[in-house]
């Protein structure tokens, strides 16, 4: 048995309402104790000044593998996850071919095992080939390791298909992730419909395109008693509807992204495709609603919504460039800037939304520092100042709107199954100790 002691860090664990300075002992890949630990250990990590938390968990990230390896691979995507402090990610099924059968789900897990970075849990497709017409074999996907179901950025537009998906998923206690968009309202849109879209002469994507889909899905979730997860909530009406549904007992959770908190639609005045995302960046009144939703618990989690693309694709004209940012490596500093520094959330609340709550949504026995739990641990240096340089990303995607920003806070050390996989900006193999 091997032992590792993380000494003198600020231990934060929402699952135990824990926030105190102390040591964390890891033995044979498991948490062996927290507090003041004495006795012989094989290895130590000095965590003074660090925040020691359960490994971060991302609810939906695109790995592009197989099919679009020029944008991302399983290795580069999981390396980016480690650099961002994530020990587990749920990968979207929008690969080529799609993750719509058992073999495809098992392939995603096998590729992650080969990469030897972080855990990868596939989200199986709701419909075959993500075309919205016929349900995928959900039972086979679960057998292959799927932790939930999603059609990625393809909204499930057919209400009958969505109803059946919610009903069938109840048998496996898995959530249905749906992207909240009525495509008829947002098709050909570039940005949020409002003052700036009018000013710039760009086709808008109205807030109603999201809130109408949210309303429909909440009604179906109530009718079927299935588990619904609304991805990338961005508008105030959606937040209000979800709050009311939760109060009525509907099984619904939702998530938001850091970039929808940090940026508004005025940034599109630059005509820079780095700011082109879907859902689009909204106006400040919507951002204020998102922050209130995070504070009162209506919004359960924060996800990177990692959508990496090659430089060549994002260099296209604004109307031709794809939507999305490579978000895994910038989550921590952007959350500090938008939520911690202004006092909107405490560190305990933030880690709950980045680790403990995502684990519960996905049904994973993670997101905790409890004794005997798997030692997936992230050490965060909250005061580290650095400049976001996309060229330094581990991800193949360089598409970020935060290029050149001077920020603070980053993952210092990341442990997966009790083994140091990332330390001071460097990937480490399983055999490499901390220097």
Indicate which residues carry an active-site annotation.
Answer: 305
- Pairing label, strands 148-150, 119-124: parallel
The tokens describing 169, both together, are 């998923």
Q: Do residues 229 and 361 lie in contact, with contact meaning Cβ atoms separated by under 8 Å?
A: yes
* CB 191, CB 248: distance < 8 Å: no
Among candidates 374, 380, 381, which has minimal Cα distance to 416? Answer: 374
Q: What is the CA radius of gyration of the chain?
A: 21
Buried b (16+ CB within 10 A) or exposed e, 237-275: bbbbbbbebbeeebbbbbbbbbbbbbbbbbbbeeeebbb
Place of tokens 């004209």: 317
d(CA 89, CA 78): 8
CB 26 within 8 A of CB 377: yes
């Amino acid at each position: 048995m091997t032992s590792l002691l993380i000494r003198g860090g600020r231990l934060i664990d929402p699952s135990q309402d824990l926030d105190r300075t102390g040591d964390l002992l890891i033995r044979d890949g498991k948490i062996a104790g927290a507090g003041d630990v004495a006795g012989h250990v094989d290895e130590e990590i000095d965590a003074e000044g660090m925040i020691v938390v359960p490994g971060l968990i991302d609810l939906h990230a695109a790995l592009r593998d197989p099919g679009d390896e020029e944008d991302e691979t399983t290795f580069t995507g999981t390396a980016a996850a480690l650099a961002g402090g994530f020990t587990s990610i749920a990968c979207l099924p929008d690969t080529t071919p799609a993750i719509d059968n058992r073999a495809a789900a098992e392939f995603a897990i096998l590729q992650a095992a080969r990469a030897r970075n972080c855990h990868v849990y596939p989200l199986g497709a709701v419909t075959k080939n993500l075309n919205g017409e016929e349900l995928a074999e959900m039972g086979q996907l679960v057998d292959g390791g799927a932790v939930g179901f999603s059609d990625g950025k393809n909204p499930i537009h057919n209400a009958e298909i969505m109803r059946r998906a919610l009903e069938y998923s109840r048998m496996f206690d898995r959530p249905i992730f749906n992207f909240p968009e009525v495509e008829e309202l947002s098709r050909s849109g570039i940005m949020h419909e409002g003052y700036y879209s009018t000013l710039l002469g760009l086709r808008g994507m109205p807030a109603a395109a999201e809130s109408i889909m949210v309303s429909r899905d909440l009604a179906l979730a109530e009718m079927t008693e299935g588990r619904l997860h609304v991805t990338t909530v961005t508008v105030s009406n959606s937040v209000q509807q979800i709050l009311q549904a939760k109060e009525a007992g509907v099984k619904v959770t939702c998530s938001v992204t850091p970039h929808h908190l940090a940026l508004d639609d005025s940034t599109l005045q630059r005509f820079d495709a780095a700011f082109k995302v879907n859902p689009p960046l909204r106006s400040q009144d919507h951002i204020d609603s998102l922050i209130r939703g995070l504070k009162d618990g209506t919004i359960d989690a924060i996800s990177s919504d990692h959508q990496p693309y090659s430089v060549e694709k994002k260099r296209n004209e604004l109307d031709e460039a794809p939507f999305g940012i490579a978000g895994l490596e910038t989550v921590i500093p952007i959350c500090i800037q938008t939520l911690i520094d202004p006092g909107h959330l405490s560190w305990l609340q933030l880690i709950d939304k980045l680790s403990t709550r995502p684990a519960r949504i996905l049904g994973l026995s993670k997101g905790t520092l409890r004794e005997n739990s798997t030692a997936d641990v992230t050490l965060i240096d909250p005061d580290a100042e650095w400049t976001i340089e996309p060229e330094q990303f581990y991800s193949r995607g360089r598409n970020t709107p935060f290029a050149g920003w001077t920020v603070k806070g980053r993952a210092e050390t990341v442990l997966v199954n009790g083994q140091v996989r990332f330390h001071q900006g460097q990937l480490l193999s399983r055999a490499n100790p901390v220097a």
